[in-house]
Structure 1
Amino acid sequence: MPELVRLYVKNIAFGFGLALAFVGLLLWFNVANLWHLISTSDVGYIALSLLIVFNTIVFAGVQFAISVMRLADDSDSSGGLRDYPGSPERIAIRIPVETIDTRTQRDRQLHRRR
């Protein structure tokens, strides 16, 4: 099995465990009277399974994203600005900036023309 698939399956299993713990805590503390709603309904098992499935999707996605981001090579400390072969050189360009007084004078002239 490829390494990335193995990593994904491992994170799904970990997300499933987190989802079980999270839903268990939701029911234990009876958040929003959830325990009563699930235990007294005749289709409460569907609500419970959907809570677990959707929380598994969320927690597994977050776990996988964190683990993929941690796979990056930390040998480069440039903060993401890397010079790759064939990349253009960085050149400082001066951009003329108008002062507030110059813009105010120009705006006055435009308003006088109208």
Structure 2
Amino acid sequence: MPKLIKFLFRNALGGALAGAFFSGLLIWSNVAGLRHLVLETADGPLAAGIMTVFFMITFASVQMGRAIMGMADPEDNNDLTPPRNGEMVAIRVHDRG
């Protein structure tokens, strides 16, 4: 399997596990009565499953995006990036009036 696919899969798996953990944490801490919804209604397990799947998809997507953005070469310095040391740069502005 190519290295990039392995890289994305590892990050997606980590994000999905974080999403499942977060969903369980919300239910365990009974935020907005979620524990009551899950344990005492007929469709509670369905609601918990849907919420967990959506959290897993969201967290996996965010983790993959973060990993891809983090792949940038730190030495990649072109004219489009602002100075990183925080110094002010003078810019010439022409009046069109």
Shared fold, TM over 0.5: yes
Aligned partner of 2:89 in structure 1 is: none
Superposed structure 1 runs of 4+ greater than 6 Å apart: none
What letter corresponds to residue 53 of structure 2 in structure 1? V
Gaps of 5+ in 1: 82-92, 99-114
1:4-83 equivalence runs, <5 A: 4-78=4-78, 80-81=80-81
Larger deviation, residues 52-61 vs 12-21: 12-21
Q: TM-score, normalised by structure 2?
A: 0.76
Identity %: 33
Query: Which structure has the bigger radius of gyration?
Result: 1
Gaps of 5+ in 2: 82-91
Q: TM-score, normalised by structure 1?
A: 0.66
The aligned length equals: 88
Cα-Cα RMSD: 2.3
If asked which structure has higher relative contact order (CA below 8 Å, sep 6+), I would say 2
